[in-house]
Structure 1
Amino acid sequence: MHIKIVNNYVPPVPTAPSAGVEEEDLLHAGETYDVNFVFPVKPLESDKLSLVPFIPALHLPLFQEHTAPYPEMFAYLPFGPFPTVSSAASLYLKRVQNDPSSTWYCVVDKTRPPSPGSAGLGGAFAGIIGLLAASRAQSQAELGYLLIPPPFQRTHVTTHACALLLRYVLDPPALGGLGLRRAQWKANAMNERSVRAAERLGFRREALLRWAMVLPKGKEGLEPPGWEEGREGEGRHTVLLGLCWDDWEEGGREHVQALMSRVQ
């Protein structure tokens, strides 16, 4: 018997609750904002820094304004830089608003006076950090979207921002955390600074994912063997690191707390 093979695959239509949100909607404040995230989202705070749940209407203009002068911040990322607020909104809509496994936090440096336009934050706008690939079923989340402008780099900001998210992800509910089993970190293999930052926090290098990503046109990466002229999209190797609940309970929590206490 001869059976003809067909393939009627059609890409699925986004089903996220906010799939009907447009870029323009993100930039207009309403009485409520739906973060559309798989886990609860709440403010996190240390003595020097606070992480505020990201509200696009309030924080996207700050994000765009404070990162636009530093396009080098996006050298190892598959997106950015953002010359306009609209371009930043487009990225946020696609990667965060319509993805229930991702969320952003606004990073606020409490040791500096408020930046122009950020009076309500209680300090200076110092970038963003987020969670992605978050899963209840797999009990894990990935720290990512770490974008700290140069004026706040090599200070306490990055350490405290990452530490606050690690405590939220890995601490048990009795201590105010989610009690997940795994925190993950992925870095462009060319970005040694990111890998070192993760290892300093206690993440263990687990794997090198070769040719893990096809980069957008214009991003510097690796040329595959047999590269054809005119072909778009260079490649990226990705370093995979993990910090798990047993690491956390066997000294990881104390290590991160010590880092927070040391940095100025």
Structure 2
Amino acid sequence: MSISLADWKGVPAPTTQLIEGRYIRLEKLDPARHGDDLFNALQGPGADPKLWDYLPYGPFPERSVFNDWLNNHAASSDPYFFSVIDRASGEVQGILSLMSIVPAQGRIEIGHVTFGAPMQRSPKSTEAVYLLAKESFALGYRRLEWKCNNANARSKYAAERLGFSFEGVFRQHMVVKGQNRDTAWYSILDSEWPAIGAGFEKWLSDENQTASGQVKGLVECRTQQS
């Protein structure tokens, strides 16, 4: 249930350094410890060739430029970046951030989602978003956003699968890499999170994630909670 606005005093900015999950853990981005694995996951021989298509930066064939990019991310408080570490292997396989952070209004966004191939279409990618969403609402944020290029079909599908509600398209919102970007906006509200969060937990449970595959899809798990 949403807090009474008569009592609203804002919320803290995120300062979390570590968030533990079932399949992954999120650590505050540290280029010295995470850089080698991230370069291999995002730029190595097995990297997703479409990874950088809709991001405002990349690709980074030169390690020095990649290092500068990581160092800039690590120094930022908005966006506030996390590395995604696979618990089974200990490898760093992606990054993502909390961004557009407005504590006074209780508004925050998950963005800069950059997952290496081993994370894609796996419980690890879903859990990474779940953990940041859970952290955001635990801090007291009222609104969690997801934004992407309206031409980015993969990101739009992910937003809807993850439980974000489509709110519209901001036309000619940005110029990215010399091209127009119409931006699709999505959100989850604090009043919606209990049912959406329970759906994530059901989907990520041992009972649902079996050796032969997933018993139920995330949308089905979420529907059963509403």
TM-score, normalised to structure 2's length?
A: 0.79
Q: Which residue of 1 aligns with 2:204?
A: 260
Q: Which residue of 1 aligns with 2:193?
A: 248
Q: Residue 180 of structure 2: which of 227, 232, 235 is its match?
A: 235
Greater Cα offset, 54-63 or 142-151: 54-63
Q: Which residue of 2 aligns with 1:191?
A: 152
**Structure 2 residue 12 is the aligned partner of structure 1 residue 63:** no
Residue deviations 1:59-80, cap 9 Å, x none? Answer: 2332222211334210111111
Q: Which residue of 2 aligns with 1:120?
A: none
Q: Which residue of 1 aligns with 2:173?
A: 212
TM-score, normalised to structure 1's length?
A: 0.68
- Kept after mapping to 2: 8 A contact 1:163/1:260: no
Equivalence map 1:38-187=2 (5 Å): 38-69=13-44, 70=47, 71-94=49-72, 97=75, 99-111=76-88, 113=89, 123-170=90-137, 177-187=138-148
Larger CA Rg, structure 1 vs 2 = 1
Structure with the bigger percentage of strand? 2
| Alpha-carbon distance in 1 for matches of 2:192, 2:113 | 22
- Return the structure number with greater relative CO, CA threshold 8 A, min gap 6: 2
- Kept after mapping to 2: 8 A contact 1:64/1:83: no
| Alpha-carbon distance in 2 for matches of 1:153, 1:263 | 16
Residue deviations 1:100-151, cap 9 Å, x none? Answer: 321111111113x2xxxxxxxxx22221121111121121211112111112
Q: Which runs of 5+ in 2 are unaligned?
A: 1-11, 211-226
- RMSD (Å), alpha carbons: 1.9
Total equivalences in the alignment: 194
Find the residue that maps to 1:151 and give its secondary structure. coil
| Alpha-carbon distance in 2 for matches of 1:94, 1:84 | 16
Find the residue that maps to 1:150 and give its secondary structure. coil
Q: Which residue of 1 aligns with 2:5?
A: none
- Kept after mapping to 1: 8 A contact 2:31/2:71: no
| Alpha-carbon distance in 2 for matches of 1:134, 1:205 | 20
Q: CA deviation at 1:240?
A: 0.6
**Percent of paired sites with the same residue:** 29
| Alpha-carbon distance in 1 for matches of 2:71, 2:174 | 21
Find the residue that maps to 2:157 and give its secondary structure. helix
Q: Which runs of 5+ in 1 are unaligned?
A: 1-36, 114-122, 171-176, 217-232
Q: CA deviation at 1:96?
A: 5.3
